[in-house]
Amino acid sequence: MVQISSKKKKFIKRNYRDLSPEALAKETGLTAKVIRTLISEYTGGKQETTHSASPTQDRVQAPLHKRIAPLLCAVFIALLTVIVYLPALKNQFVWDDFTYVARNSLIVSLDGSSFYNMLTTFYASNWHPLTWLSHALDYAVWNLDPFGHHLTNIIVHGANTFLVFFLALHIVSIAGNKQDSFSTTAIPPVTSSNHAIAAAVTALLFGIHPLHVESVAWVAERKDLLCAFFVLLSTFSYITFTSSSTAKKRWLWFGICLFLFICALMAKPMAVTLPILFLLLDVYPLRRFGHAAEGSAPILWEKIPFFALSTASAIITIMAQRAGEAIVSLQHWDLGVRLLNALRSLTFYLEKMVVPYRLVPFYPYPQQLNGPELEHVLSGIVIATITGLSLWLLKRKKYLLCTVWLYFIITVLPVIGIIQVGSQAAADRYTYLPSISIFLLAGIGVMVLFEKSALTKHKNLFRGLMVICCAAIMFLLGYSTVKQIKIWHNPERLWQYVIASFPQRVPHAHYNLGFFYGQRGRFDDAITQFNETLAIDPNHAHAHNNLGLAYDGKGMLDEAIAEFKKTLAIDANLAEAHNNLGITFQKKGMLDEAIAAYKEALMIKPTMAEAHHNLSATYYYKKNYTLAIAHCDKAAALGYSVHPKLLESLKPYR
């Protein structure tokens, strides 16, 4: 028997419940075999800890409370997340919610025709039929009550937080498995309490971090939540597939994984990077490459269906964005500007994860960018440093930082702005999936500190301080999240916040605020905001059009006509502007001019029911009853609610 000093024996006896035999061996200079022998003496031969037991023994002997504890922890964190987001239930529809929900004809029914249209149309420059189906189910239950739509978002986010806990738990457990090669028992059946600490921190950060408010408190970002939900489930299925011991189970879990991946793509195409992430998992922590008996080829072949689906999804997405003219051309922002913005975005998102200060619903592009500025140079230095450190650790067979860093870059790549959609330089919602890796790194960091504290003289004091610090950080994050939710309360508060954050920088913030005021009859406020829009962007056709409507609402008909004409000088194909011009002409008694304007609107948009209705009324005033009846019938056929007075007036002439 090896001679062991009493000091080492006391150290082992004090820490064997917290540290693995390998960690104890490293600290004492003894072998792991000797450590296990001592542990066996301390426990009377009973393997009471996960460190001293084999996987098979753990599965049988693990106490019930140890098996239930992770589930209870995950449920608690998910419920806490839901509670933090409850203030969002008081929020109204904002921004794209009106396009995605309030004015979306795809979601008003759940019949076969609606399903077909969800699958075959590029409404709102997107193809995500599963997201439309989700909104349709909400509409069937809640109609247009924002409460129910927000409730669904909160529940899905809570479910995602639950899944993040267990995914983090599995990944940390697999990474902590000391086997040098991959095996079909890659998922340890029972994990240590320290692994649960890492999972809990990861899930808490994911659940209550204010950076995720945009994805949860904005109903239109249901696509983010659903996509993440199916990505997480697909990843679970993939890990189970790789650890299945029989061919039947492997094929079953492979099929489930592929199906869930399809669901993720049908919720939001951001899931296109998942096949690459599976390869990353194969390298670490699954360690499949280099150890499979049949070589690496099958690992690559099994990814072909996933890459094929990703390619198809990418093509469909580009088609949808082009159909809605959402893709910004290189003439607007050249490739050099986009690359600089992409470089800055990587560190921008990292900054917001570490210090979530001044989170804004819209981050505009720099006003002038002729070359690299200081922030781009600093971003390059940070990225180069992290990459260099990752490679340095990789050479020493320490894979964690490299894996985390690659996951972050890969998941954020589709929304980094190389193919620019919209006019934002960055968006908080783009971090919903990418942030998981950074939060996992933070969780592992807390776990390592907790483990190392076992070696300190005052470990209970140190651990108590750690718990207090973590609780304080989580409280501050939760408090910031509640404050951020209030910004999304209604369109007025949202756009006022954007304008205050970036004065004279975001024309559509002033435009959307003006539109909100105009809908509520606050025409003076609307006129002010539309003029602010035009001061930043004089060629904003819709701002001119809505400024004309505001003038019309105030009875300033000549000013309204002037604005509608300015609109058409910028965009002659804007049917709404022709129709609005016709309405104003009609109010002034200029019936011939009104008829000409309505006809122009219908030349551009023959199915514009309102223009048919207005033309019918104008023809009635001109005593051309035949044409009045014809256009009245067309308006009704297109689903327009014809004014009862017009119907009554035309009855004698039918």
Is the pLDDT at 73 greater than 50? The verdict is yes
Q: What is the mean pLDDT of residues 13-17?
A: 70
434 within a domain of the structure (yes/no): yes
What are the tens digits of pLDDT across the range 435-476?
999 999 999 999 989 888 777 777 788 889 999 999 999 999
Is the pLDDT at 609 greater than 60? The verdict is yes
Domain boundary among 485, 506, 531: 485
59 within a domain of the structure (yes/no): no
Q: Is 505 left (phi over 0), alpha (psi -120 to 50) or beta?
A: alpha
Q: How far apart are CA 192 and CA 15, in angstroms?
A: 13
Is the pLDDT at 418 greater than 50? The verdict is yes
Is the pLDDT at 77 greater than 70? The verdict is yes
Residue 628 β-bridge partners:
none
60 within a domain of the structure (yes/no): no
Return phi, psi of residue 424, to 5°: -85, 145
What are the tens digits of pLDDT across the range 376-391?
899 999 999 999 999 9
Same domain, 502 and 468: no
Longest dimension (CA), the chain: 115
Same domain, 390 and 531: no
Mean pLDDT of the chain: 87
Neighbours of 9 (CB within 10 A): 14
Least confident of 197-201, 240-244, 420-424: 420-424
Same domain, 628 and 480: no
One-character DSSP codes across 569-629: HH-TT-HHHHHHHHHHHHHTT-HHHHHHHHHHHHHH-TT-HHHHHHHHHHHHHTT-HHHHH
Same domain, 152 and 194: yes
Domain boundary among 485, 520, 544: 485
Question: Nearest-CA neighbor of 176 among 285, 282, 74, 277?
Answer: 285
Q: How far apart are CA 566 and CA 582, in angstroms?
A: 14
Same domain, 435 and 535: no
- Print the domain residue range for 529: 493-653
Q: What is the mean pLDDT of residues 424-436?
A: 93
User: For the stretch 400-434, what's the b/e string if a residue is b when 16 or more beta carbons lie within 10 angstroms of its beta carbon?
Assistant: bbbbbbbbbbbbbbbbbbeebbeebbbbbbbbbbb
Is the pLDDT at 52 greater than 50? The verdict is no
Domain boundary among 453, 485, 517: 485
pLDDT at 63: 58
Same domain, 235 and 215: yes
Residue with the bigger pLDDT between 14 and 596: it is: 596
Q: Is 188 left (phi over 0), alpha (psi -120 to 50) or beta?
A: beta
Question: Nearest-CA neighbor of 200 among 162, 156, 235?
Answer: 162
The count of domains in the chain is 3
One-character DSSP codes across 426-490: E-GGGGTTTHHHHHHHHHHHHHHHHHHGGGSTTHHHHHHHHHHHHHHHHHHHHHHHHHHHHHTSS
Is the pLDDT at 584 greater than 60? The verdict is yes
pLDDT band at 28 (very low <50, low <70, confident <90, very high): confident
Q: What is the DSSP letter of 310?
A: H
Same domain, 10 and 121: no
506's enclosing H/E stretch is none
pLDDT band at 5 (very low <50, low <70, confident <90, very high): confident
Same domain, 14 and 77: no
424's enclosing H/E stretch is strand 424-426
Q: How far apart are CA 485 and CA 466, in angstroms?
A: 28
Lookup: tokens for 645:
């007075």
pLDDT at 57: 38
Return phi, psi of residue 426, to 5°: -160, 170
1 within a domain of the structure (yes/no): no
- Please say whether the beta carbons of 73 and 44 come within 8 A: no
What are the tens digits of pLDDT across the range 498-532?
999 999 999 999 999 999 999 999 999 999 999 99
Question: Nearest-CA neighbor of 424 among 498, 500, 358, 362?
Answer: 362
What are the tens digits of pLDDT across the range 361-417?
999 987 676 677 888 899 999 999 999 999 999 999 899 999 999 999 999 998 887
Q: What is the DSSP letter of 425?
A: E
289 within a domain of the structure (yes/no): yes
Which CATH number do you get for residue 635? 1.25.40.10
- 388's CB contacts (< 8 A; 6+ apart) are none
Return phi, psi of residue 287, to 5°: 55, 45
Same domain, 169 and 194: yes
Q: What is the mean pLDDT of residues 54-78?
A: 68
pLDDT at 432: 96
What are the tens digits of pLDDT across the range 214-251?
999 999 999 999 999 999 999 999 999 998 878 889 99
640 within a domain of the structure (yes/no): yes
Q: How far apart are CA 482 and CA 210, in angstroms?
A: 8
One-character DSSP codes across 320-370: HHHHTT-BPPTTTS-HHHHHHHHHHHHHHHHHHHHS--S--S-EEPPS--S
Q: What is the mean pLDDT of residues 598-608?
A: 94
Is the pLDDT at 293 greater than 70? The verdict is no
57 within a domain of the structure (yes/no): no
617 within a domain of the structure (yes/no): yes
pTM for the structure as a whole = 0.86
pLDDT at 190: 43
Q: How far apart are CA 433 and CA 341, in angstroms?
A: 20
Q: What is the mean pLDDT of residues 485-504?
A: 96
Same domain, 203 and 347: yes
Same domain, 45 and 167: no
What are the tens digits of pLDDT across the range 90-105?
999 999 999 999 999 8
What 3-state class would DSSP assign to 2?
A: coil
Q: What is the mean pLDDT of residues 539-552?
A: 96
Q: Is 555 left (phi over 0), alpha (psi -120 to 50) or beta?
A: left
Same domain, 498 and 416: no
Is the pLDDT at 309 greater than 90? The verdict is yes
566-573: long-range contacts (C-beta < 8 A, 24 or more apart)? Answer: 567/541, 567/542, 570/539, 570/541, 570/544, 571/541, 573/604
Task: Return the percentage of the chain with pLDDT > 90, whole number.
Answer: 65
pLDDT at 383: 95
Exposed, middle or buried by CB within 10 Å (0-12, 13-18, 19+), for 279? middle
